[in-house]
Structure 1
Amino acid sequence: MGKILIFAGTVEGRRLAEFLDSQKKECYVCVATEYGESLLPEGEYICSSSKRLSAKEMKELMNKEGIDYVVDATHPFAVEVSENIRFACETLEKKYIRLLRDEDSIEEKNDCILVGSVGEAVDYLMETDGNILVTTGSKELKEYTRIPQFKKRVTARVLSTPEVVMECSKFGFEGKNLICMQGPFDEELNYCLLKQTKASYLVTKESGKAGGLEEKLLAAKRAGVKVILIGRPKEQQGYSFEQVKLYLCKEEKIKWKQHITFVGIGMGTKQTMTLEAWNACEMADVLIGAERMLQTVKELRKPKFSSYKIEEIKQFISEHLEYGNIVILVSGDIGFYSGTKKWMEQLSDYPISRINGISSVVYFCGKLGIPWEKTALISLHGREQNIIHAVKNNETVFALVGEDNGIPALCKELIRCGLESVVLHVGENLSYSNERIVTGTPKELVTEEFERLSVVVIENRIPEQVVVTHGIRDEKFLRDKVPMTKSEIRSISLSKLELTREATVYDIGAGTGSVSIELSMQAFNGMVYAVEKKEEAVNLIQLNKNYFGVSNLQIIEGEAPDALKELPAPTHVFIGGSSGNLKEILASVLKKNPSVRIVMNAITLETVMEAVECVKEFSLVEVDIASVAVSKSKEVGQYHMMMAQNPVYIISCRGGGSKENGTLS
């Protein structure tokens, strides 16, 4: 196993030492000062030194410790030190690796005066008036004494160590001319110091992101201060932190797990991100997400991969082992229709962390002043959900809308189902400068145009008290002369079906649609397909669908089994009329789902005999046959006479096969 020596004058060097320690890999870390040593992470596998070394001493250390790899992570301006390290490595034939700082392109550079050295900066400042805040360190502070009246004009900000303070005092920098502080410094603190010193000029080095350059530039711009920027020496060659880490892992056969964090970023602006989410992005090696989300954190200037497709994301992660700390950005909150669950299943081989964000329902209901603890939550974004049922049964419904013309289409459906009086609050571009919230009834908003990605809160101030049991009275249905399954038979048949809320149901031989309507109401999160061959009956089903205001009912005109070919596999099937095709119908539905639940109604003995034969032939299970004779009262003068209806045989059963994970077997 090779030994690694790190000259760690930068954040990147300290991060590398911390990483190697976490992998239980010994490393020797050299820094130039005790202060630098105090910044090093404490670790069982880290050995450190704070002594400045000459080229000769570097060679002695490499030989003594048996070093194989030398990582030069010194500051870009430590040119002489880098040359000594390189010379020592070449002499001893050690592997030299230059770790470069993250040099980012910052637009504010265009407003700076670029110079090549501290001396050039001083030459420029000697021809100016006004106070100067110097943040270039103590090493070259003597240069600034050439500025006329420097004690009045120049304030130096340096590290807060006794050695540095003594060095500065030798050159006349003390008292109000000397600020001793330890970074990092954010934009606000830089701004306050510029205002306090009444600076007209700020002198800084092009130290990149790790050196806090961006924060200085932003503060100077706010304060109206001119920046004198000392350009960093051009690196001949070198590698990024991720590249160095990957190289050492391969050479030393360090096996390490990439870690993935799913981060909910809120509405889309930095202001709606939690501090925990922002910190996670700051610590990330790479950020992954849709371009809109990456824009929210662009100021962090992190490596990024723009994608929302899990296959592409998975491939990217597997191909880029240099990224250990991976953050995947999710809109809103990770637990609210975000797709995070599916993604986590696909990435289950990796250690995963989760950070919640502010969801759109929390943000939007807060804007509207509407409590959301009893609000029904729906997503119409890439999925079918029965929003009409939700609106009928709840005072408030929140929905994500992600389709073109989504809001107008929703308004049309509300109008069709008799919900014209509800109030809609539509929100788009939430949290952005062009945020828009529009309120109105379905008729008022049906012609409006909205963004594709919108949200809506629907208020139904008088929700229906919906009957939760089946058995709608026969006279409620529009019937004409079309045969209809009577209420009592309908109730028993629906009970035998053992419906679930998410059921996919065929109603074959639907007639007036009375069974289909009740199926839709019971399986309100599923879908019902009313299959009917007669045009008159099809028209009646449509009328009853509109009258009862159900949205999860599709009418299929045609004769079974041919009409069933393009339909999704059913979980439940009701057969009220087969037109002599019972065997073929059962074969078709059992092929789609071998464990489908089936209920058949029969009046004639011939149909009963055929059903019993099919039960045997298809090896159906859980078979139950009931003969139901219903008598209903009829007023005759002052009396009530019982009138018998035709007896009906109700055959219920289930396919004997299995359906696992959506795959039929």
Structure 2
Amino acid sequence: MKDKKILLYAGTTEGRKLASYLGRRGVRLHVCVATAYGESLLPEEKNITVTHDRMDSGQMGEFMRVFEPDYVIDATHPYAKEVTKNLKSACEVMRVPYLRLVRGSEETKESICVENMDEAIKYLEKTEGNILVTTGSKELESYTRLTDYESRVYARVLSIGQVAVNCEELGFSGRHLICMQGPFSTEMNRAMLKEYDIAYMVTKESGLAGGYPQKCQAALEAGVKMVVIGRPEEEEGMNFEEMSKFLQKELELDNHWKVTLVGIGAGARDQVTLEAKRCCQEAELLIGAGRMIEAVAEVGQTIYEAYRPDEIISYIKENPEYENVTIALSGDTGFYSGAKKILELMKDDPQIETKVVPGVSSIIYFASKLGVTWEDAALVSLHGRKENLMAVIKENKKVFALVSNAEEIRQILTKMTEYGMGEVTVRIGTELSYKNEEIQTGTARSLLHYKGENLAVLYIENESGGESPVIPAIPDDTFVRGDVPMTKEEVRSISIAKLKIKKDAVVYDVGAGTGSISVEAAMVATQGNVYAIEQKVEAQELIRENARRMHVDNLHVIEGMAPEALEELPAPDCVFIGGSKGKLYEILDAIRKKNPFVRVVLNAISLETMMQVLKYTEENEIEEAEVIQVAVSRAKKVGSYHMMNGQNPIYVISFTSRPAKKEADPENEDDFVLEEINLDEVEPEDMTGDIVEDITKVISVGDLTPEKIREEMEESE
């Protein structure tokens, strides 16, 4: 920052605001005010000095000669014409640049405009009803010319002792004398107009900082006529935004913002918390989507309509004159709110200081209207998001869901009905907190043809929710099977465990059959998606039926044969292969191309299939390879005895793909890799000794011992 000095004549709110703006940036500043009270309102900064002596043009010039300012800024009141005249003259004599800080202007249709105080008194004399005077104490004597002024006029003046004494001497006392410091909010003005049964409010056009727009809005809402004493003349100069931008560039000032993220609740004004309302009222700049702005903006307040985080931050950075910024967000800042992304983008910016003010979310508001608790409910949002809502409903007795529109609600209710939850209680809340708020109650089936407003909150009460925990294996007789082969529950349990499925995983079930593996995988990957690849039409219908039975909405049937059917699918995290139709290598190549780190589990009955997999692991980069033989026997009653019937043994083969090869250390026999063994060159009778031992070092074979492998190879021959 250049070492420059500013002389500021501050008689307005904008002047004090500019003093604070410059003071925080370390600018050497001297402020001249008319009274000691005005001095008390200024910020206390070590780089700011203040005097409250009245000066004529000559005294102003002498002060400029001593202080040597680079700029003189006139921020006096629009009606202080004499001060402005003297200041301009002194600047011209001392050849110091003069800058005028002016107030903005607002107009209202519900007003009577008069040229001066005399015209205001003449007009009011012809009227009836109480009058609120907000033109200050200096001109209060003029109102004594009104007939019955002592009973009609209510004077609002500064809370200064001498001012109160002077007003009482003029005959204004008791309820007719209101001593308060402004400017005032719309709500405060409206409350006063109602309290004193005001018919006319007299004011000067004092701009945004003087609270003029708030007076106009309050008068409009209360049905009060405004009597406006017009401004002496239109002034030339810069408003606060223009002035701060000019000084920021001229003095090379550092920028700093205080950004408050405010949750405004469900939407209606009376649902906004007091802290949130205060932050919005005090903001120099208020940002938010149109609906949010409408709920909290003050009349005449500077606003910017935006909801995308990057757009919001860009606008703040492009307008450094607005230091105190409030971003209005719907609901609560911690519940599916845009606050999360905004905070992430701002967290490493040293120029931005952030604060978060929570609100009452529409879900909490809805719960209170219904008289239910939400502490034990599942909370989800479907605004621009995909959720496995059927699984959430199944696993919880109470669910609150934010939904975007009526079509989305109908789709949810249709699925609930199809999945056997048509009699579950559903309540739909729309326009929550507004005058046209509506709550509908019924079952999923009875509300299938719902027609309502776009934004809504659902409350779903499933009495049987959470009673059937998700377990690793489902009894075989739970599935609809038909004539399609199905992986038995004991093998499913081991296979699902070996897949190591995470909640948000993408899972393929290649050769899905009845979909038993697909269904259980979908129950584990509740936040992910499962793709059941099956070419047989009969099996495809069985998969869909079993998905509906088990309430898994994240299971998708892919009609076709792998690997061709995999082309358009997202990259998998886990793949189960129950059948390959002779295309095992092509399928493995396809899935490893989509994800080099994919986790694979295969079920094989024959040794030939197992050897195919071992050969593939030998020729490719594979880790965590494992072969398990599962032999299951089931009891069968024979007479008064039970005999065990053995099932065909199954090989559960699992491995994790890796893109990088692992180099073997020739001096370390434990660091052996499959590439050193070519199984095609090994005869069955040679599968003894070191070769078998080396295979078992790389592949954890569970119950398979070297002797067992040799025996099975011999039996195969």
What's the offset of the Cα at 1:153?
A: 5.3
Q: Are 1:259 and 2:261 an aligned pair? A: no
Indicate the percent of aligned positions where both proteins have the same amino acid: 46
Of stretches 203-212 and 392-401 in structure 1, the one that deviates more from structure 2 is 203-212
Check conservation: 2:186, 2:298, Cα contact below 8 A.
no
Aligned mates of 2:312, 2:614 — CA distance in 1: 54
Aligned mates of 2:626, 2:137 — CA distance in 1: 93
Residue in structure 2 matched with residue 299 of structure 1 by the alignment: 298
What's the offset of the Cα at 1:294?
A: 1.3
**What secondary structure does 2:655 align onto?**
strand
Pick from 485, 490, 493: which aligns with 1:491? 493
Pick from 357, 364, 378: which aligns with 1:362? 364
Residue in structure 2 matched with residue 249 of structure 1 by the alignment: 248
Aligned mates of 2:330, 2:174 — CA distance in 1: 48
Residue in structure 2 matched with residue 554 of structure 1 by the alignment: 556
Pick from 44, 47, 50: which aligns with 2:46? 44
One-letter amino acid of the counterpart of residue 479, structure 1: R
Of stretches 194-203 and 376-385 in structure 1, the one that deviates more from structure 2 is 194-203
Residue in structure 2 matched with residue 315 of structure 1 by the alignment: 314
Residue in structure 2 matched with residue 428 of structure 1 by the alignment: 430
Aligned mates of 1:55, 1:515 — CA distance in 2: 92
One-letter amino acid of the counterpart of residue 324, structure 2: N
Matches within 5 A, 1:230-629: 230-348=229-347, 349=349, 350-403=352-405, 405-629=407-631
Instruction: Sort the Cα spacing of 1:527 and 1:233 in 2 relative to 1 into closer, same or farther, 3 A.
Output: farther
Aligned mates of 1:437, 1:390 — CA distance in 2: 22
Of stretches 397-406 and 86-95 in structure 1, the one that deviates more from structure 2 is 86-95
Check conservation: 1:381, 1:403, Cα contact below 8 A.
no
Check conservation: 2:284, 2:322, Cα contact below 8 A.
yes
What's the offset of the Cα at 1:411?
A: 0.6
Of stretches 226-235 and 22-31 in structure 1, the one that deviates more from structure 2 is 226-235
What's the offset of the Cα at 1:182?
A: 2.7
Aligned mates of 1:416, 1:148 — CA distance in 2: 79
One-letter amino acid of the counterpart of residue 138, structure 1: S
Residue in structure 1 matched with residue 679 of structure 2 by the alignment: none
What's the offset of the Cα at 1:515?
A: 0.4
Aligned mates of 1:367, 1:130 — CA distance in 2: 43
Check conservation: 2:101, 2:243, Cα contact below 8 A.
yes
Residue in structure 1 matched with residue 666 of structure 2 by the alignment: none
Residue in structure 1 matched with residue 180 of structure 2 by the alignment: 182
Instruction: Sort the Cα spacing of 1:259 and 1:169 in 2 relative to 1 into closer, same or farther, 3 A.
Output: closer
**What secondary structure does 1:209 align onto?**
coil
Check conservation: 1:405, 1:450, Cα contact below 8 A.
no
Residue in structure 2 matched with residue 655 of structure 1 by the alignment: 657
Residue in structure 2 matched with residue 103 of structure 1 by the alignment: 105
What's the offset of the Cα at 1:241?
A: 1.8
What's the offset of the Cα at 1:451?
A: 2.2
What's the offset of the Cα at 1:152?
A: 6.2
What's the offset of the Cα at 1:220?
A: 4.7
Q: Deviations over 1:203-245 (max 9, x none)?
A: 2112233223344445555666543211224433222322222
- Structure 2: gaps of 5 or more residues: 661-717
What's the offset of the Cα at 1:356?
A: 0.8
**What secondary structure does 2:503 align onto?**
coil
Residue in structure 2 matched with residue 62 of structure 1 by the alignment: 64
Q: Are 1:24 and 2:47 an aligned pair? A: no
What's the offset of the Cα at 1:300?
A: 4.5
One-letter amino acid of the counterpart of residue 586, structure 1: L
Check conservation: 1:138, 1:164, Cα contact below 8 A.
yes
What's the offset of the Cα at 1:87?
A: 2.8
Q: Are 1:81 and 2:83 an aligned pair? A: yes
Aligned mates of 1:323, 1:641 — CA distance in 2: 85
Of stretches 553-562 and 83-92 in structure 1, the one that deviates more from structure 2 is 83-92
Report the TM-score when normalising by structure 1: 0.92
Q: Deviations over 1:548-586 (max 9, x none)?
A: 222110000111121111111222111111222222222
Aligned mates of 2:203, 2:579 — CA distance in 1: 86
One-letter amino acid of the counterpart of residue 326, structure 2: V
Check conservation: 1:155, 1:176, Cα contact below 8 A.
no
What's the offset of the Cα at 1:201?
A: 3.5
Aligned mates of 1:53, 1:83 — CA distance in 2: 12
Q: Deviations over 1:26-62 (max 9, x none)?
A: 2111111122112222222221111222222222222
Aligned mates of 1:50, 1:363 — CA distance in 2: 52
What's the offset of the Cα at 1:289?
A: 1.8
Q: Are 1:160 and 2:174 an aligned pair? A: no
Instruction: Sort the Cα spacing of 1:481 and 1:189 in 2 relative to 1 into closer, same or farther, 3 A.
Output: closer
Of stretches 209-218 and 441-450 in structure 1, the one that deviates more from structure 2 is 209-218
CA RMSD, aligned part only? Answer: 2.5
One-letter amino acid of the counterpart of residue 451, structure 1: E
What's the offset of the Cα at 1:167?
A: 5.4
Of stretches 362-371 and 17-26 in structure 1, the one that deviates more from structure 2 is 17-26
One-letter amino acid of the counterpart of residue 490, structure 2: E
**What secondary structure does 1:210 align onto?**
coil
**What secondary structure does 2:82 align onto?**
helix
Aligned mates of 1:223, 1:536 — CA distance in 2: 72
Instruction: Sort the Cα spacing of 1:277 and 1:225 in 2 relative to 1 into closer, same or farther, 3 A.
Output: closer
One-letter amino acid of the counterpart of residue 322, structure 1: E
Instruction: Sort the Cα spacing of 1:618 and 1:246 in 2 relative to 1 into closer, same or farther, 3 A.
Output: farther
Instruction: Sort the Cα spacing of 1:41 and 1:639 in 2 relative to 1 into closer, same or farther, 3 A.
Output: same
Q: Deviations over 1:429-477 (max 9, x none)?
A: 1111111110000111111112222110001123252143222111221
What's the offset of the Cα at 1:178?
A: 6.7
One-letter amino acid of the counterpart of residue 365, structure 2: Y
- Structure 1: gaps of 5 or more residues: 659-665
**What secondary structure does 2:53 align onto?**
coil
One-letter amino acid of the counterpart of residue 294, structure 1: I
Aligned mates of 1:222, 1:346 — CA distance in 2: 40
Report the TM-score when normalising by structure 2: 0.86
Check conservation: 1:493, 1:599, Cα contact below 8 A.
yes
Aligned mates of 1:157, 1:73 — CA distance in 2: 24
**What secondary structure does 1:18 align onto?**
helix
**What secondary structure does 2:446 align onto?**
helix
Aligned mates of 1:192, 1:615 — CA distance in 2: 81
Aligned mates of 1:390, 1:189 — CA distance in 2: 47
Check conservation: 1:509, 1:531, Cα contact below 8 A.
yes
What's the offset of the Cα at 1:126?
A: 4.1
One-letter amino acid of the counterpart of residue 180, structure 2: Q
**What secondary structure does 2:533 align onto?**
strand
Instruction: Sort the Cα spacing of 1:282 and 1:198 in 2 relative to 1 into closer, same or farther, 3 A.
Output: closer
Aligned mates of 2:148, 2:167 — CA distance in 1: 16
What's the offset of the Cα at 1:268?
A: 1.0
What's the offset of the Cα at 1:296?
A: 1.0
Residue in structure 2 matched with residue 663 of structure 1 by the alignment: none
Of stretches 13-22 and 369-378 in structure 1, the one that deviates more from structure 2 is 13-22
One-letter amino acid of the counterpart of residue 477, structure 2: E
One-letter amino acid of the counterpart of residue 344, structure 1: L
Residue in structure 2 matched with residue 662 of structure 1 by the alignment: none
Q: Deviations over 1:613-657 (max 9, x none)?
A: 222333111111112222222233333222222221111121224
One-letter amino acid of the counterpart of residue 40, structure 1: L
Instruction: Sort the Cα spacing of 1:94 and 1:25 in 2 relative to 1 into closer, same or farther, 3 A.
Output: same
Check conservation: 1:575, 1:599, Cα contact below 8 A.
yes
Check conservation: 1:156, 1:173, Cα contact below 8 A.
no
Check conservation: 2:159, 2:181, Cα contact below 8 A.
no
Instruction: Sort the Cα spacing of 1:136 and 1:523 in 2 relative to 1 into closer, same or farther, 3 A.
Output: same
One-letter amino acid of the counterpart of residue 479, structure 2: F
